[in-house]
Amino acid sequence: MKKLKCGSALALTVLLCGTALVMPEVALAQPEAADPLTDTIIVTGQRTAVALEQQADPVAGHATAADAAALVAQLPGAALVNNGALSGQVQYRGLFSERLSVHVGGQDFQSGGPNAMDPPLHYVPVILLDRITVSRGAAPVSDGPGLGAAVNARLKQVGYSDSASMTPALDLAASYRSADDGLAAGGVVGLASDTYRVNAIASWEEGDDYRFPGGKAGDTAYSRLVYGLSAGMRHAGNELSLDLRRQETGKSGNPPFPMDIDFFDTNFARLGFDGSIARHAVKLQLAYTGVRHAMDNYTSRPAPAMPAMFRRTDASADTMNGSASIVFGALQIGADASWVDHDVTIRNPNNAAFEIGAFERVRQSRFGGFAQLSGETGGWQGDLGVRLDRQRASMADPQVGSGVPAMVQALATATAAGNRPRTDTTWDLVARIWKQEGTVRPRLVLSRKTRVPNAIERFGWLPVEASGGLADRNIYIGDQNLKPEVAWAAEAGVDLGEGAVTFRPSVFYRRIDDYIQGTPVPMSMMPQIMIATMNGDSTPLIFSNIDAELYGFDGDLAWQIVPALRFDATVSYVRGKRRDAPDNLYRIAPLNGRASLTYGGEDWSVKAEAVGAARQRKVSSFNEEPTSPGWVIANLWADWRISPSLQISGGVENVFDRRYADHLAGINRVANSDVAVGERMPGVGRSGFIRIGVTY
Ligand SMILES: [Cu+2]
């Protein structure tokens, strides 16, 4: 049984795998009982009663990939922007990157790389994931700034127990995926009483280049280690909590980018208070995230032919933030602030004199405040919030080494001449109204939200492929005069049914003024165009304010046909257009969905699932984005709860070994791979998966 290759032989194997060993199970995209404006994905190993109930529900998603973003992509309205095994970004209703506010373990922070090789969910190994919550519609202002929804990833921890004495608890899991021989193991072990809790958290993951029908996708291997501590104490309704965590990402491939991850060494620290002061509910948090990163174009992928083309980039980002809020009756008021220090230096390891400060001592600060009123009347609930942020960003004058071409030295000097701190004041407004009970539960979210330009968009003076993860093979430069994006949105839906059938459709419209996107660099910027041409792109883009709109619909349907049989389906559609020119927005998911039949009993279930997407022809001509054909694949899953503390699950993805590529998968740039250069990265071929989870 040990040598069993799950998935290589298929359906039969699945069953074998399922009975013998096995897998994770992520189960489910159900709204949290408390809040119909939130979608939650629950992964294995739940400890709370609510989560266990949800887990027993056969609506289940199964996360086989290391990337937690791939799991979120199963939700209605969501999709995966795939830039590498550990570099996926969540897209929600057409928004991705920093347009969504993504929190990990309660912290929000700046990614370290100029191409977002470490988007926030890079720091969420699926094996350590407790749940991910996605707001259905614009996030409330209390979640901080952000143009659209909020995504919250909660890591496993040992919760308080009912007893006065410290009792041990653990929640461990291990998994294997055959497509990339991916191994993952990890979890939490700790002690808790009704007053104290403390646990260690750790995980280790490693995977090889993945297989697809046609060979192996070169430069897609990955490795990641996480370890840390979490502790808390509570007394009389007040809780103090502390989290310390370190992640060491090893060499990991990024075929859609010009370089690969050499390492990320990232430290997280968070101190929180949740309780009351003078009978008013109070929340306080102080947090730090420090990212150290290097990437290069010669270690994981075939090295360039010429020594002059070798590149290694070192980057760092330190985020400090603090927040405080207090509740007075129906009114919550809060303040928050963040400070980010960011550096990116490009070098050639073959030439010590070649050194460019691409983003030199970038400093960003933000001071914000919000007020949010909540109320309830006649079965309707609602809240109305407003927030104000003062944001400042600066960059030191760029420094370059003597081995850098004269044109680049001249551009650095010219950049210094126009370089100055930039400030913006932004305001956001979010109104939400919904019905919590009944068989017809409408919801409506109206919002005006903003996003200031990030460091890349604002301070990118050197024409290189730093685009915050767009991976469109274009060379970009920034513009210090960019204005903040302003989005006006209406998102409405209704949750129908409570019993055997539930149907939860939504429609949305989001109009974004000053949307930031690349447009052709004007001929007046000849030095930039010449340097870009030397770097391989004679038509570089400059980040510019354009006008855009996104609209669409999404929803899910669940039908408990008979007690042992259930049907589930999810559909997502979004259309993204420019309003100021006849073009589509870049990297927008096509119509896509999934449908499954689950058959099972109290302790076990099997599921057959179809996942697919329509072709995407509405592509961005400005970004020279290729179209993509539609595809459908089938998956099989099995879950078995052997005892209250032991759960096994497994499955086969892409059962029929179809060759396909998701529209949002990046375009390959790595030679010596079975994926051609310029081809969209294919999905994994037939692949078996097993996971075993133990809780105590
Ligand atoms: Cu990087």
As a whole number, the mean pLDDT across the chain is: 88
Are the C-beta atoms of residues 41 and 75 closer than 8 Å to each other?
A: yes
pLDDT digits (tens, 9 = 90+) for 127-161: 998 888 888 889 999 989 999 999 889 899 999 99
The reported pLDDT for the residue numbered 112 is 87
- Tell me, in angstroms, the distance from the centre of ligand 1 to residue 118's CA: 7
The reported pLDDT for the residue numbered 428 is 97
Question: CA 45, CA 127: separation in Å to the nearest integer?
Answer: 10
- Tell me, in angstroms, the distance from the centre of ligand 1 to residue 62's CA: 29
SS3 332: strand
pLDDT-above-90 percentage for the chain = 74
- Tell me, in angstroms, the distance from the centre of ligand 1 to residue 540's CA: 20
**Closest residue by Cα to residue 176 from 11, 19, 1, 21:** 21
- Tell me, in angstroms, the distance from the centre of ligand 1 to residue 266's CA: 13
pLDDT-above-70 percentage for the chain = 91
Question: CA 376, CA 141: separation in Å to the nearest integer?
Answer: 19
Question: What b/e sequence results for 367-378 when a residue is b if at least 16 CB atoms lie within 10 Å of its CB, and e otherwise?
Answer: ebbbbbebeeee
- Tell me, in angstroms, the distance from the centre of ligand 1 to residue 444's CA: 39
Between helix 526-534 and helix 406-417 the angle, nearest 10°, is: 140
- Tell me, in angstroms, the distance from the centre of ligand 1 to residue 363's CA: 19
Select the more confidently predicted residue: 499 or 583: 583
The reported pLDDT for the residue numbered 422 is 96
Other CB atoms within 10 Å distance of the CB of residue 208: 14
**Closest residue by Cα to residue 372 from 432, 426, 322, 445:** 432
pLDDT for residue 14 is more than 50: no
The reported pLDDT for the residue numbered 509 is 98
- Tell me, in angstroms, the distance from the centre of ligand 1 to residue 449's CA: 29
Residue 67 is which amino acid? D
- Tell me, in angstroms, the distance from the centre of ligand 1 to residue 223's CA: 15
The reported pLDDT for the residue numbered 61 is 54
Residue 352 is which amino acid? A
- Tell me, in angstroms, the distance from the centre of ligand 1 to residue 58's CA: 39
- Tell me, in angstroms, the distance from the centre of ligand 1 to residue 427's CA: 32
DSSP 393-457: EE-PPP-B-TTS-HHHHHHHHHHHHT---EEEEEEEEEEEEEE-SSSEEEEEEEEEEEE---HHH
- Tell me, in angstroms, the distance from the centre of ligand 1 to residue 111's CA: 9
- Tell me, in angstroms, the distance from the centre of ligand 1 to residue 467's CA: 11
- Tell me, in angstroms, the distance from the centre of ligand 1 to residue 116's CA: 7
pLDDT digits (tens, 9 = 90+) for 532-579: 999 889 999 999 999 999 999 999 999 999 888 999 999 999 999 999
Whether residue 57 lies inside any domain: the answer is yes
pLDDT for residue 35 is more than 80: no
pLDDT digits (tens, 9 = 90+) for 657-667: 999 999 999 99
- Tell me, in angstroms, the distance from the centre of ligand 1 to residue 217's CA: 20
pLDDT for residue 20 is more than 80: no
pLDDT for residue 467 is more than 90: no
Identify the bridge partners of residue 553 per DSSP, sorted by sequence position.
Answer: 573
pLDDT digits (tens, 9 = 90+) for 227-269: 999 999 999 989 999 999 999 999 999 999 999 999 999 999 9
**Any idea what the Cα angle at residue 94 is, between residues 662 and 460, rounded to 5°?**
95
The reported pLDDT for the residue numbered 311 is 95
- Tell me, in angstroms, the distance from the centre of ligand 1 to residue 300's CA: 13
Q: Which of the four pLDDT bands, split at 50, 70 and 90, describes residue 38?
A: low
The reported pLDDT for the residue numbered 49 is 25
Q: How many domains does the chain have?
A: 1
Question: CA 184, CA 174: separation in Å to the nearest integer?
Answer: 5
**Closest residue by Cα to residue 128 from 184, 168, 49, 80:** 184
- Tell me, in angstroms, the distance from the centre of ligand 1 to residue 124's CA: 17
Whether residue 1 lies inside any domain: the answer is no
What distance lies between CA 646 and its chain's CA centroid? 29
Are the C-beta atoms of residues 62 and 651 closer than 8 Å to each other?
A: yes
- Tell me, in angstroms, the distance from the centre of ligand 1 to residue 565's CA: 46
What mean pLDDT is predicted for residues 109-120? Answer: 91
Residue 638 is which amino acid? A
Whether residue 5 lies inside any domain: the answer is no
- Tell me, in angstroms, the distance from the centre of ligand 1 to residue 426's CA: 29
- Tell me, in angstroms, the distance from the centre of ligand 1 to residue 113's CA: 4
Supply the CATH number for residue 308's domain: 2.40.170.20
What mean pLDDT is predicted for residues 601-626? Answer: 92
Whether residue 18 lies inside any domain: the answer is yes
Identify the bridge partners of residue 396 per DSSP, sorted by sequence position.
Answer: none
The reported pLDDT for the residue numbered 44 is 33
Reported as type and span, the H/E element at residue 265 is: strand 260-277
Region of 505 on the Ramachandran plot (φ > 0 left; ψ -120 to 50 alpha; else beta): beta
- Tell me, in angstroms, the distance from the centre of ligand 1 to residue 259's CA: 7
CA distance to 20, 101, 477, 518, per residue, from 466 (Å): 46, 21, 8, 12
Q: Which of the four pLDDT bands, split at 50, 70 and 90, describes residue 432?
A: very high
pLDDT for residue 8 is more than 50: no
**Closest residue by Cα to residue 164 from 191, 198, 193:** 193
Q: Is the dihedral of CA 131, 681, 634, 178 positive or negative?
A: negative
- Tell me, in angstroms, the distance from the centre of ligand 1 to residue 114's CA: 6
- For residue 45, give its domain range: 11-695
- Tell me, in angstroms, the distance from the centre of ligand 1 to residue 258's CA: 9
- Tell me, in angstroms, the distance from the centre of ligand 1 to residue 397's CA: 22
Are the C-beta atoms of residues 138 and 445 closer than 8 Å to each other?
A: yes
pLDDT for residue 189 is more than 50: yes
User: CB-side exposure of 535: number of CA atoms within 13 Å?
Assistant: 24
pLDDT for residue 23 is more than 60: no
Are the C-beta atoms of residues 659 and 624 closer than 8 Å to each other?
A: no
Report residue 65: phi and psi, to 5°: -80, 155
pLDDT digits (tens, 9 = 90+) for 494-504: 989 878 898 99
